[in-house]
Amino acid sequence: MTVSFWRWALWLPLLFLGLFFIYPLLTILDVSLRPEGVFDFSGFIRIISSEYYRETLWFTFWQALLSTVLTIVPAIGSAYLFTRYRFPGKSLLLSLATLPFVLPTVVVAAAFSALIGQRGLVNTLLMNVFALENAPIQLERTLALILIAHVFYNYAIALRMIHGYWANQSPRIEEAAQVLGCSGWRLWWEIRLPLLRPIIFAASLLVFIFTFTSFGVVLILGGVRFATLEVQIYVQALNVFDLPLAAALSLVQIGFMFVTMLVYTRLQQRINSELQNQRQIARHPQSISEKIIVFTHVIAMVAFLFTPLLALVVRSVTIGGQGFTLEHYALLNQNMRDSILFVPPLHAIGNSVFFALLTTMAAVSLGILTAYLVAENRRWLDAVFMLPLATSAVTLGFGYIIALDEPPLNLRASWVLIPIAHTLVALPFVVRSVLPALRRLPRSVLESASVLGASPSRRWFSVELPLISRGVWVGATFAFTVSMGEFGASLFVARPDTPTIPVVIFRLLGQPGTANYGQAIAMSVLLMLVCTLSFMLIERLRTVGIGEF
């Protein structure tokens, strides 16, 4: 392979981004501004003039803001304990705490439904113990359950960001303040919180982005009553078929998220440049009160993060049966609706694995090329390829159904759209995994290989690829996991005969009957197991600190 070949190949990611990201977004822009071929701002006027859509915009904003506050506050307290104290299982707990973040939203929604839903474990237990006819805990279709699920989903990522930053700060500032008599709440207000302000702001922005674009959790646990922009785009596009309004809503969300992501990336770059690479010295809790605080906090963390997942497993083998039963796992091979438009849920597992393998190959190939592009001092491309993270998967799926329906890209009815959409969603994760490893390549080793006569292709396969292999494997695992759990875009582009696991779970949860509910819970457990195994692999490969997620 010649140098010119590599130079041309490096631009393939830009071509992919242009065709399957920029073009669909421009189509959304065209549909929203020119629905009949001439400029028409009626879609935006309807959003501004309608009290309902103004309330939707406001609700989307303040529920994301409230979710962020409820996530960041306990994350700061947990980060303090993880930074200052050493206790048995600390590293393992910090690692396992991230598991909810890598779980698909449909699994998180199903887990809370299995725990505290009307047919959940807690309500079933209370009804049996106290001989109640109705479920005493009524949290389904409430804002409270949405907020709880958002905290569950994002708590660990905020904890790891704040803890990682705090652990790299010099302890001398705080020690000097304590010598001068600063203690208690003044120490927090005047020293600790100002010191952590950049990372708290960055973590808050990231959590806000995730909760602002939350789709699966809101749709399944809240329904249309608590519709956010994401849910409204889905309803207007697929249920009401009002494409101009859906496009206008998508454009509003894209603009808001782009600005937010731009602020976040700049802040994150500044934070990375300010890290001092100094480690706090954690100590064992000494006093009785310290031991009680650490023990209580660890127990609370474990209960909050893992009780819903345990309830999901328990519910999958107890629904509709007397005691232990695998009935609903056995039903996964049956088409309960006896419709030619639907397939047995078990087939969705094969579909998801097939799409995930295609996604992994495509995302890793494009991700490696993208990492090389960015590493060649093309930093503006770094922000460009992060744009899919600032664009919701629902908006992406909507863009596909209106943009890719004419030759030469008439893919609207093709299953190929699923791995394409998944690749676009997974690509930023691969880039962020490979790029740090690529930047750590010792220049002297590469120059030595060239001096010894190695061609560019041989140098890459024999020298560079082995050195960045950990980052590549982390990126590949991320891509596979993201594809297996992707829900928003898949709900738009998946065909009835080729559904993915999350789409099937959503369909089953929306159907009445114990059998459908049991199948949904069983499918959620299987998907959770796949994501857990992938997460364990990622954590094992990340032991040397490669990657930025």
How high is the mean pLDDT of the chain? 82
Please say if the pLDDT value at position 64 is more than 80: yes
Spatial separation of the C-alpha atoms in residues 500 and 190, rounded to whole Å: 51
Instruction: Give the residue, 39 or 396, on which the prediction is more confident.
Output: 396
Token pair in block for residue 329: 């796992």
Number of domains in the chain: 1
34 belongs to a structural domain: no
Domain range enclosing 384: 3-29+64-544
User: Quick one: which of 486, 472, 481, 460 has its CA closest to 364?
Assistant: 472
Please say if the pLDDT value at position 49 is more than 90: no
52 belongs to a structural domain: no
Spatial separation of the C-alpha atoms in residues 308 and 111, rounded to whole Å: 5
Spatial separation of the C-alpha atoms in residues 434 and 52, rounded to whole Å: 44
pLDDT score of 277:
55
pLDDT score of 375:
79
pLDDT score of 257:
81
Spatial neighbors of 489 by CB under 8 A, at least 6 apart, are 393, 394, 396, 397, 400, 421, 422, 425
Give the CATH number, domain containing residue 377: 1.10.3720.10
Grade residue 304 by pLDDT with cuts at 50, 70 and 90: very high
pLDDT score of 3:
54
pTM given for the model? 0.83
Please say if the pLDDT value at position 227 is more than 80: yes
| The one-letter amino acid at 509 | L
Grade residue 208 by pLDDT with cuts at 50, 70 and 90: very high
Grade residue 546 by pLDDT with cuts at 50, 70 and 90: very low
56 belongs to a structural domain: no
Spatial separation of the C-alpha atoms in residues 64 and 197, rounded to whole Å: 20
Half-sphere exposure of 299 (CA within 13 A, CB side): 6
Instruction: Give the residue, 89 or 407, on which the prediction is more confident.
Output: 89
Query: Which range has the worst mean pLDDT, 102-111, 124-133, 180-189, 225-234?
Result: 180-189
Please say if the pLDDT value at position 128 is more than 60: yes
Torsional class of 323: left (φ above 0), alpha (ψ -120 to 50), beta (otherwise): left
Token pair in block for residue 326: 């695998």
253 belongs to a structural domain: yes
Contact, 456 vs 524, CB < 8 A?
no
User: Quick one: which of 218, 315, 215 has its CA closest to 525?
Assistant: 315
- Give 527-542 pLDDT, tens digit per residue: 888 888 887 877 777 6
C-alpha distances (whole Å) from 196 to each of 79, 95, 521 are 11, 22, 40
Share of the chain above pLDDT 90, in %: 20
119 belongs to a structural domain: yes
User: Quick one: which of 313, 153, 167 has its CA closest to 220?
Assistant: 153
In three-state secondary structure terms, 428 is helix
pLDDT score of 129:
84
39 belongs to a structural domain: no
Instruction: Give the residue, 196 or 323, on which the prediction is more confident.
Output: 196
pLDDT score of 76:
93
Token pair in block for residue 185: 């709440």
- Give 66-76 pLDDT, tens digit per residue: 999 999 999 99
Instruction: Give the residue, 29 or 211, on which the prediction is more confident.
Output: 211
pLDDT score of 547:
46
- Give 248-280 pLDDT, tens digit per residue: 888 888 888 878 877 887 787 677 666 555 555
500 belongs to a structural domain: yes
In three-state secondary structure terms, 85 is strand
Instruction: Give the residue, 461 or 59, on which the prediction is more confident.
Output: 59
- Give 418-456 pLDDT, tens digit per residue: 999 999 989 988 988 888 788 777 777 766 766 666 776
Using CB atoms within 10 A of its CB, is residue 28 exposed (0-12), middle (13-18) or buried (19+)? buried
Span 487-499, mean pLDDT? 85
Spatial separation of the C-alpha atoms in residues 388 and 62, rounded to whole Å: 23
Span 299-318, mean pLDDT? 91
Span 385-411, mean pLDDT? 80
Query: Which range has the worst mean pLDDT, 42-46, 117-121, 424-428, 455-459?
Result: 455-459
Q: Token match 């992707």: residue?
A: 486
Spatial separation of the C-alpha atoms in residues 397 and 409, rounded to whole Å: 15
Q: How far apart are the first and last CA of the chain?
A: 33
C-alpha distances (whole Å) from 15 to each of 20, 23, 143, 272, 369 are 9, 11, 42, 30, 12
Using CB atoms within 10 A of its CB, is residue 33 exposed (0-12), middle (13-18) or buried (19+)? middle
Query: Which range has the worst mean pLDDT, 5-9, 224-228, 319-323?
Result: 319-323
Provide the sign of the torsion angle of the four alpha carbons 180, 181, 183, 187, taken in this order. negative
Please state whether the peptide bond connecting residue 456 to the residue before it is cis, i.e. omega within 30 degrees of 0. no
